[in-house]
């Protein structure tokens, strides 16, 4: 039962309908039952791991809070974090580490006889483990009271709208909302339905329509350079549409229950620098990495090279979190290098822009920076999308080869689209950019929608729904659902 299914819509309707009929003091039972049922339909074999992680985090949080001395709290915090990281590491990274050691042993002649072991990755473990770590650390820092109500704590751990792919929520934001009595509210219902419709539109008409086109190039044994360039840029659009659609649906589902989840995207492909990009892309993960990796590493550091070391380490963690493979490690490192290089050369780049005359045409300067940032992000995604390091370097070489950008080659590469796919993509591309233009000029698309007449609002939503039904396809789950 994925978000993009009739079964989920019926399940959601049943839960929302029941939620407002059940007395507030019993609603946590409904939400917990719904969350476990939803998870079980996707990955029933890992329900015990979810239960064990929940119970462990609950107990360690209380034990940390009971300690009187700061040192004791810190030691218990490290015990809690270590156990949670062990769970994540065993299931997500055992094969990666084992295979890497086997390859190194074979190359160096070292005797290494640990056999290959098939370890299945539990669904959503990356997301709920990060939530658990933030809870344990916040309790030890005194920023979060240890939750005594096991039911509410379990709902925080497994809240079904955001369990599978985020947003990664902090306990101090979600727990109080779960405990507050939510009333049936027209604005919440309207907002939630619109976000869900928008998520379905982006997922079925952009992400899943682009997915086979992109895959046909990256699965090809001998793609042309122009195909790699075009497919990589399309993959960037596909990935954004896929992940932001998942966040839209999660936010919409939660709002139907009166719960406000954090925004996860803010037009990342309009970022003017890599630092700006990470303030707009997967925002809750970026904030998590800032608060629990970068800040502790950079604390007390004054030298620029020490700060740069913390930046690189943070982006390495980001890369490893995204996938247990060396190409993800390199992808994270590339973004760390981008970030360090951008900071180190900021003054020189500003002088060069002034010398060229960009400062006299701010709009042109802004779009130039957007275009450069987009291409830097696309280049890194060659490593994100490729299946191996050798393939990633081969594709990266094609991406930066000047002949790959020749107009004649690009025109030939466009032929990977069928005529119907091309027309649909262009129409949808315009619609998405109209929404994003409203976002940039009006502050919030959803506030703008709320100000429109009922006729306009219904017409827009009908257009999105009919388009998704007539031209949408759904052939796979969400990309970030695999993390």
Tokens of 138: 């916040």
Distance CA 79, CA 133 (A): 11
Phi, psi at 116, each rounded to 5°: -65, 135
- Region class of 32: left (phi > 0), else alpha (psi between -120 and 50), else beta: alpha
Task: Please say whether the beta carbons of 301 and 144 come within 8 A.
Answer: no
Residue of 322, 344, 395, 437 marked catalytic: 322
For residue 185, give the nearest of 30, 19, 32 by alpha carbon: 19
Q: How far is CA 268 from CA 213, 300, 333, 362, in A?
A: 23, 31, 19, 20
| Residue 322 annotated among the catalytic residues of the structure | yes
Q: How many CA atoms lie within 13 A of 57 on its CB side?
A: 32
Task: Please say whether the beta carbons of 298 and 306 come within 8 A.
Answer: yes
Which residues are catalytically annotated?
Answer: 322
């Amino acid at each position: 039962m994925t978000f993009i299914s009739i079964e989920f819509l019926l399940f959601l309707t049943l839960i929302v309908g029941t939620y407002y009929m059940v007395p507030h003091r019993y609603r946590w039972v409904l939400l917990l039952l719904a969350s476990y049922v939803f998870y079980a339909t996707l990955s029933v074999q890992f329900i015990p791991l979810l239960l064990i992680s929940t119970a462990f985090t609950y107990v360690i949080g209380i034990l940390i809070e009971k300690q009187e001395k700061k040192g004791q709290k810190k030691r218990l915090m490290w015990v809690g974090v270590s156990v949670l990281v062990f769970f994540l590491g065993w299931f997500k990274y055992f094969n990666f580490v084992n295979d890497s050691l086997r390859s190194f042993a074979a190359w160096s002649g070292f005797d290494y006889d640990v056999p290959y072991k098939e370890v299945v990755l539990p669904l959503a473990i990356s997301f709920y483990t990060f939530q658990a770590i933030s809870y344990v650390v916040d309790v030890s820092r005194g920023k979060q009271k240890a939750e005594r109500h096991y039911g509410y704590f379990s709902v925080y751990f497994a809240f079904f709208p955001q369990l599978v792919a985020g947003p990664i929520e902090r306990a101090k934001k979600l727990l109080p909302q779960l405990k507050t009595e939510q009333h049936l509210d027209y604005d919440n219902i309207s907002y939630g339905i619109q976000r869900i419709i928008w998520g379905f539109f982006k997922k079925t008409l952009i992400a899943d329509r682009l997915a086979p086109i992109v895959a046909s190039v990256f699965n090809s044994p001998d793609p042309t350079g122009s195909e790699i360039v075009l497919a990589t840029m399309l993959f960037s659009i596909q990935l954004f549409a896929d992940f932001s659609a998942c966040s839209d649906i999660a936010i919409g589902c939660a709002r139907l229950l009166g719960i406000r989840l954090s925004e996860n995207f803010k037009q990342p492909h309009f970022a003017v620098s890599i630092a700006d990009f990470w303030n707009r892309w997967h925002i809750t993960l970026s904030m998590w990495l800032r608060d629990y990796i970068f800040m502790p590493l950079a604390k007390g550091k004054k030298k620029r090279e020490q700060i740069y070391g913390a930046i690189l380490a943070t982006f390495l963690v980001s890369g490893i979190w995204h996938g247990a493979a060396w190409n993800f490690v390199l992808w994270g490192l590339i973004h760390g290098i981008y970030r360090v290089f951008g900071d180190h050369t900021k003054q020189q780049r500003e002088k060069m822009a002034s010398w060229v005359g960009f400062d006299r045409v701010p709009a042109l300067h802004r779009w130039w920076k957007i275009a450069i940032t987009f291409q830097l992000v696309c280049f890194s995604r060659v490593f994100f999308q490729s299946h191996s390091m050798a393939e990633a370097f081969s594709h990266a070489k094609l991406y930066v080869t000047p002949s790959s950008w020749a107009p004649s080659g690009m025109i030939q590469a466009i032929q990977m689209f069928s005529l119907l796919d091309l027309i649909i993509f262009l129409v949808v591309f315009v619609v998405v950019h109209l929404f994003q233009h409203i976002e940039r000029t009006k502050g919030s698309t959803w506030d703008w929608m709320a100000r429109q007449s009922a006729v306009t609002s219904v017409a827009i939503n009908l257009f999105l729904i009919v388009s998704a039904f007539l031209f949408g396809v759904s052939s796979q789950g969400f990309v970030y659902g695999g993390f």
